[in-house]
Amino acid sequence: MDRDDLLPLYRQMLLIRRFEERSAEMYALAKIAGFLHLYIGEEAIAVGAIAAIRADDYVISAYRDHGHCLAKGSDPRHVMAELFGKATGLCKGKGGSMHLVDAKRNFMGGYAIVGGHLPLATGLAFAVTYQKRDQVVLCFFGEGAVPSGQAHEAFNLAALWKLPVIFVCENNRYAMGTPITRGIALYSDLTDKARAHGIQAETVDGMDVLAVRTLMQTVVSKVRTDAQPYFVEAVTYRFMGHSMSDPAHGHYRTKEEVDAERKKDPLVLLRQTMMQQGLATEADFKRLEQEAGETVAAAVKFADESPFPARAALDEDVYIE
Amino acid sequence: MLISYREALNQAMREEMRRDERVFLIGEDVGHYQGAFKVSKGFVEEFGRGRVLDTPITEAGFTGLAVGAAMAGLRPIVELMTFNFGILALDQIVNNAAKIRYMSGGQLSAPMVIRGPGSAAHQLGAQHSQSLEAWFCHVPGLKVIAPATPRDAKGLLKSAIRDPNPIIFIEAQLLYATKGEVQEGEYTVPIGQAEIKRQGDAVTIVAYSKMLLLALEVAEELASEGIQAEVVDPRTLKPLDLQTIVASVRKTGRLVIVEEGWRFAGLGAQIADSVYTDAFDYLDAQIVRVTGEDVPMPYARPLEDAAIPDRARVRAAVKQVLHRA
């Protein structure tokens, strides 16, 4: 482990954290509307996993997608502008928080029907194989998608046709308000659901960005060379509510539980590791904090000052003429 | 050359797969079984298993896989064994294929064809006999094609495969064995163009897919009674070639619309609305729709016959708009 290797991971997680905290404020100010699902607490998974792939590898996500999009390298200004519904947003303001897409970075989108994007991920991987390329596909989804039919259809096809897709299950333990033990039969961990389809699977501590990255480096390398899918369960916790309309600890989680989980904050964990090993100083973190603050402030300013889409945009991009 | 509707589809896909490496065929039993209706006969032999993919019976999974493949640059043809099973893939068709271009602000798209038979065959029961084209026509982002003749089936399927948008291509089990003249060599039929299948001046009958054949039969009967019906085949249901329909109505002043689908909120309701909007002053009679009955398809033959438009009902509708009941 060295400083130049770890600081970027912290920088990315911090950016996502601060970006989303400001998003929540902007939501309260009605600059952002609709559904806004925050990734706070889960940042180590996107950052650790995406750090293990190449720039031309594909990433596809569900509706809690800000972290994956930013980790894939999207410009925070264009992401924030999309949340604001502005013409300068990644998707010209037509997608919104749940449907971020950055095609030039092969960030293939956020999808808001639970389980529905897992078949798409297998399709991206199918195209890679068909065209004899060597990319991999990272498909992020919550544990709430695991019992869905579309997920299992995707697992089966990926295994059957040996497609280079890595299913990264972000197990934050609650499918909105339903705990996993009330949603999935015989739950101990989720890897057996993938193994049932003949997919190799492992569980990792999703709060530990280094553990996630280390595992993913091995997995990505296997998937890239061996032509096979893989399933990774990253155990995590959502510090905030399901969306902005759900308080951090509603009827389904106790304050004590949330407080206890917050002590496992992935940012704090990496910071402690780096401090203990003498790889970074308070001054470094102060500087990173300032940098993230400036980046997010610039994103908010950019979004705020950008125009809304013109009326003419309403009819654009329904069809390709 | 005189070929069957089935052979026309086979030729269209074969020619396009030869022309474009990105095109592949995926669906249940499309390979070694050669398609449930033998549309892909000879394909696995010519193109191999890499481009002719037999799938498990998981419509959402393989349709979604095709959408993802299209997003990554391929040109899938999804064969649904029948559109009844396509209901299982509706999330993929409606939420992903149809919307991805719009949601992404034009960054991604899903150029693909989803094809297979719709409508009733003979006594297959409620779950295997339905005409769902109105559902798909309702969704922005999809184009919907329902050819009736081998010539149109071939030319439109080739256009559909080349089109950059997601396309619903609805065939019919009872059309597969029907034969028609198809020109030799390369040709396409443009999407979004209706065709006047029979000239006339007394009444316009709009009908598509299987119902076109019914409309043409009735038109011949009426001709012997001195009534010349003009039969317009939209061929593409969305985008609808309203111009051709309206031009015909302006000539005849009378319109009968025949569709096999359920009456309530059926495609004919949309066509009637459009004609009332664009050509109200040219109408000499109220538009009459002949449709399937608003019931799940019954098994018993007399009941099934009663649920589907037939010659008598089309004749009666024509007489009604001609005020000759």
Q: How far is CA A123 from CA A154, B74, B92, in A?
A: 9, 10, 12
Report pLDDT for A250: 76
| pLDDT tens-digit series, residues B172-198 | 999 999 999 999 999 999 999 999 999
Nearest to A157 among B62, B74, B103 (CB): B62
Contact map slice: B 9-28 vs A, CB within 8 A? 24
Mutate to test the interface with A, among B17, B63, B65, B162 (most CBs of A within 10 A): B65
pLDDT exceeds 70 at position B119: yes
Residue reference for tokens 């369960």 = A233
Domain count, chain B: 2
DSSP string for residues in A43-72 = HHHHHHHHTTS-TTSEEEE-S--HHHHHHT
Q: What CATH number should be reported for the domain whose range is A3-301?
A: 3.40.50.970
Domain that holds residue B309: 195-321
| Contact between A85 and A246 (Cβ < 8 Å) | no
Set B128, B138, B217, B221: catalytic member: B128
| Contact between A236 and A261 (Cβ < 8 Å) | no
Question: Chain A residue closest to B75 (CA)?
Answer: A127
Nearest to B60 among A108, A128, A153 (CB): A153
CATH number for the domain that contains residue B227 = 3.40.50.920
pLDDT exceeds 90 at position A246: no
Task: Read off the DSSP letter of residue A102.
Answer: B
Q: Same domain for B26 and B105?
A: yes
Residue reference for tokens 């997995």 = A219
Q: Does B169 touch chain A (CB under 8 A)?
A: no
Q: Same domain for B245 and B157?
A: no
| pLDDT tens-digit series, residues B194-226 | 999 999 999 999 999 999 999 999 999 999 999
Task: Round to whole Å and give the CA distance between B85 and A116.
Answer: 17
Q: What is the ipTM of this complex?
A: 0.97
| Contact between B168 and B114 (Cβ < 8 Å) | yes
| Domain contains B187 | no
**Cβ–Cβ gap B143/A319 under 8 Å:** yes
Task: Read off the DSSP letter of residue B174.
Answer: G
3-state secondary structure at position B156: helix
Nearest to A94 among B24, B68, B103 (CB): B103
| Domain contains B52 | yes
Helix, strand, coil percent content, chain B, rounded in steps of 5: 40, 20, 40
Domain end (from B122, B147, B181): B181
Task: Round to whole Å and give the CA distance between B94 and A36.
Answer: 23
b or e along A240-253 (b: 16 or more beta carbons within 10 Å of the residue's beta carbon)?
Answer: bbbbbebebbeeeb
Tell me the mean pLDDT in the region B61-68. 98
Question: Chain B residue closest to A139 (CA)?
Answer: B68
pLDDT exceeds 70 at position B325: no
CATH number for the domain that contains residue B58 = 3.40.50.970
| pLDDT tens-digit series, residues A90-141 | 999 999 999 999 999 999 999 999 999 999 999 999 999 999 999 999 999 9
**Cβ–Cβ gap B64/A91 under 8 Å:** no
Report pLDDT for A159: 98
Can you say how many angstroms the Cα of residue B316 is from the centroid of all Cα atoms in its chain?
25
One-letter amino acid at A30 equals A
Of A194, A203, A196, nearest in space to A165 by CA: A194
Q: Same domain for B283 and B204?
A: yes
Report pLDDT for A249: 75
Report pLDDT for A186: 87
Tell me the mean pLDDT in the region A258-275. 96
Tell me the mean pLDDT in the region A56-63. 98
Q: Number of CB pairs < 8 Å for A and B? A: 144
Report pLDDT for A82: 98
| pLDDT tens-digit series, residues A32-57 | 999 999 999 999 999 999 999 999 99
pLDDT exceeds 80 at position A282: yes
| Domain contains B296 | yes
B321's CB contacts (< 8 A; 6+ apart) are B203, B254, B255, B256, B285, B286, B287, B288
Q: Same domain for B31 and B117?
A: yes
| pLDDT tens-digit series, residues A190-223 | 999 999 999 999 999 999 999 999 999 999 999 9
Q: Same domain for B84 and B35?
A: yes
Backbone phi, then psi, for A195, in 5-degree steps? -60, -30
Mutate to test the interface with A, among B74, B95, B102, B191 (most CBs of A within 10 A): B102
Q: Same domain for B177 and B97?
A: yes
Task: Round to whole Å and give the CA distance between A137 and B73.
Answer: 15
Concerning whether B133 is annotated as a catalytic residue, the answer is no
**Cβ–Cβ gap B74/A153 under 8 Å:** no
Tell me the mean pLDDT in the region B105-112. 98
**Cβ–Cβ gap B92/A119 under 8 Å:** yes
Report pLDDT for A251: 85
Q: Same domain for B148 and B207?
A: no
Q: Same domain for B168 and B255?
A: no
Question: Chain B residue closest to A103 (CA)?
Answer: B107
Instruction: Please provide the size of chain B in residues.
Output: 325
Report pLDDT for B217: 98
What integer best gives the mean pLDDT of chain A? 96
| pLDDT tens-digit series, residues B247-303 | 999 999 999 999 999 999 999 999 999 999 999 999 999 999 999 999 999 999 999
For CA atoms B270, B311, B261, B110, the dihedral sign is negative
Burial of A30 (0-12, 13-18, 19+ CB in 10 A): exposed
Listed by start position, the domains of chain A span 3-301
How many C-beta atoms lie closer than 10 Å to residue B13's C-beta? 26
Residues above pLDDT 70, as percent of chain A: 100
Backbone phi, then psi, for A231, in 5-degree steps? -130, 125
Concerning whether B128 is annotated as a catalytic residue, the answer is yes
Set B16, B28, B59, B304: catalytic member: B59
Question: Chain A residue closest to B62 (CA)?
Answer: A119
| Domain contains B190 | no
Mutate to test the interface with A, among B71, B109, B143, B163 (most CBs of A within 10 A): B71
Q: Same domain for B275 and B300?
A: yes
CA-based R_g, chain B, Å: 19
Report pLDDT for A248: 79
Q: Same domain for B177 and B264?
A: no
Report pLDDT for A259: 93
Report pLDDT for B108: 98
SS3 readout for A240-306: CCCCCCCCCCCCCCCHHHHHHHHCCCHHHHHHHHHHHCCCCCHHHHHHHHHHHHHHHHHHHHHHHHC
Domain end (from B118, B151, B181): B181
Q: Does A138 touch chain B (CB under 8 A)?
A: no
| Domain contains B189 | no
Q: What CA dihedral angle connects A213, A217, A218 and A224, to 10 degrees? A: 140
Q: How many helices (H) and strands (E) does chain B have?
A: 13, 14
Of A169, A319, A146, A172, nearest in space to A242 by CA: A172
pLDDT exceeds 70 at position A183: yes
Q: Same domain for B243 and B139?
A: no
**Cβ–Cβ gap A111/B67 under 8 Å:** no
Domain end (from B126, B152, B181): B181
| Domain contains B33 | yes
B113: tokens are 């064809």
Q: Same domain for B91 and B127?
A: yes
